[in-house]
């Protein structure tokens, strides 16, 4: 075949896809127990939603977005992150007019034009959770706790929670001025100097070693928080302590998006090397106004599924996944195949995962299929069995074989596999 997936696109096929699916299902259950509802949003949006919401000074908007003009002349962009689109949907469908906070989660592919490497892809997968309409430290702590509980439920033991506060509209302007004064005295390229004037916090997010060395003595936002922000941050940490969730203060963490205020956090896994960040998020109290909505505070996160899969592998964790097949049917002859097909339907309706040999294979070839399916039991049905209205039930683990009346097969197998 002359086609293959585009460079930088991460795909999951069996058997690894079963782990990917199990991870997502575990998150769905974690979110459900905390009162979060699922929603599905557009994969592409008006480009201005991200330019105004995420921030034109960010690398995401200025360098990494997949933007195209549609046939109507509209500029559209494949989503590079979830929060702006989720908030747009909350506002568009009036969810904020009901009970607050609006608690929703979603997931799927996101797209950024980056240099592909392990853990960094052009099409990658995230789980996203948002709590919109509340400015309460307990909501911040709950959001962080849900991600922590999900990582713990997967069995990950080396995840670290990094925590910071980015202040608010009251205390950040003074910090911004002092940071700009400091940055203007550094040896930086012209593009970075331009960024100092637009959004100096973006410079703190620069990963280049030659820049990071010069930032060692940069002023810290934590030293410039107003009284309200400091008290807010202390309450978030107290709630986390009440839940026995450990964290590390990271006073230099600013995240890569412009909309963050106050609580910001990252989840880090040291075994992942350069791409050690496996999730993160924060509060975005001004995002609604930035995209044309009313004042509507919120907090949320995005967790990387791809990097979580890698982290599980690095820690040697294999998730238990439901069997693809529990019972495999082997039918010898056309009439037996018809009866087996009906029997498989009855088994599936009863909650038993069942498959069968198709294409009229002989006994040897069909039994190879049974072994490859991973099933524990095989049902063997031939002409003599049909005449006796029975089927041969073979335990593929012990090789023990017994005859079971056709009318009792479903009940017998339900008792063995459930």
With beta carbons less than 8 A apart as the criterion, state whether 330 and 379 touch.
yes
Question: Is 112 among the annotated ligand-binding positions?
Answer: yes
Question: Which three-class secondary structure state does DSSP give residue 282?
Answer: strand
Question: Is 81 among the annotated ligand-binding positions?
Answer: yes
Distance CA 7, CA 253 (A): 31
| Residue position matching structure tokens 């916090």 | 201
Helices (H), 68-136: 83-92
Name the residue among 287, 50, 247, 61 with its Cα closest to residue 164: 247
Cβ-in-10-Å burial (0-12, 13-18, 19+) of 215 comes to: middle
Phi, psi angles (nearest 5°) of residue 349 = -65, -30
Distance CA 224, CA 409 (A): 72
Q: Which two tokens stand for residue 266?
A: 């990252």
Distance CA 12, CA 108 (A): 13
Question: Is 82 among the annotated ligand-binding positions?
Answer: yes
Please provide the distance, in angstroms rounded to a whole number, between the alpha carbons at the two ends of the chain: 42
Question: Is 418 among the annotated ligand-binding positions?
Answer: no
In this structure, the strands spanning 67-69 and 75-78 are antiparallel
Q: Give 290-331 as a DSSP string.
A: HTT-----EEEEEEEHHHHHHHHHHTT-------S-SEEEEE
Question: Is 151 among the annotated ligand-binding positions?
Answer: no
Question: Is 259 among the annotated ligand-binding positions?
Answer: yes
Question: Is 175 among the annotated ligand-binding positions?
Answer: no
Question: Is 130 among the annotated ligand-binding positions?
Answer: yes
Distance CA 51, CA 49 (A): 6
> Within its chain, how far is the Cα of 252 from the centroid?
25
Known binding residues for L-histidine: 81-83, 112, 126, 130, 255, 259-260
Known binding residues: 81-83, 112, 126, 130, 255, 259-260
């Amino acid at each position: 075949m002359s086609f293959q997936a585009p460079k930088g696109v991460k795909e999951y096929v069996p058997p690894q896809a079963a782990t990917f699916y199990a991870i997502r299902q575990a998150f769905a259950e974690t979110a459900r127990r905390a009162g979060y509802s699922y929603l599905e949003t557009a994969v592409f949006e008006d480009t201005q939603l991200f330019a105004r919401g995420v921030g034109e000074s960010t690398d995401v908007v200025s360098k990494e977005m997949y933007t195209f003009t549609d046939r109507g002349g509209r500029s559209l962009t494949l989503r590079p992150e979830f929060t702006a689109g989720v908030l747009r949907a909350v506002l568009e469908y009036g969810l904020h007019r009901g009970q607050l906070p609006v608690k929703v989660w979603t997931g799927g592919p996101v797209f950024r034009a980056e240099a592909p490497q392990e853990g960094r892809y052009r099409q990658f997968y995230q789980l996203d959770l948002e709590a919109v309409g509340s400015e309460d430290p307990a909501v911040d702590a709950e959001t962080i706790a849900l991600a922590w509980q999900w990582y713990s439920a997967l069995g990950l033991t080396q995840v670290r929670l990094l925590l910071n506060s980015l202040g608010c509209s009251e205390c950040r302007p003074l910090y911004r001025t002092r940071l700009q004064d400091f940055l203007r005295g550094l040896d930086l390229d012209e593009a970075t100097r331009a960024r100092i004037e637009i959004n100096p916090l973006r410079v703190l997010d620069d990963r280049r070693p030659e820049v990071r060395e010069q930032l060692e003595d940069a002023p810290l936002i934590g030293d410039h928080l107003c009284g309200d922000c400091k008290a807010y941050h202390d309450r978030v940490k107290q709630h986390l302590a009440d839940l026995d969730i450990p964290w590390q203060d990271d006073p230099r963490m600013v995240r890569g998006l412009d909309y963050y205020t106050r609580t910001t956090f990252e989840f880090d896994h040291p075994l992942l090397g350069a791409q050690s960040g496996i999730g993160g998020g924060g509060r975005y109290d001004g995002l609604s106004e930035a995209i044309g909505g009313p004042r509507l505070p919120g907090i949320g996160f995005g967790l990387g599924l791809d990097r979580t899969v890698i982290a599980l592998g690095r820690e040697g964790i294999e998730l238990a996944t439901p069997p693809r097949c529990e019972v495999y049917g082997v039918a010898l002859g056309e009439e037996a195949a018809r009866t087996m097909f009906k029997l498989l339907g009855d088994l599936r309706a009863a909650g038993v995962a069942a498959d069968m040999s198709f294409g009229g294979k002989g006994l040897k070839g069909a039994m190879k299929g049974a072994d490859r399916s991973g099933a524990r039991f095989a049902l063997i049905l031939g002409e003599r069995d049909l005449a006796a209205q029975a089927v041969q039930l073979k335990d593929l683990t012990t090789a023990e074989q017994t005859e079971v009346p056709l009318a009792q097969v479903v009940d017998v197998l339900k008792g063995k596999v459930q």
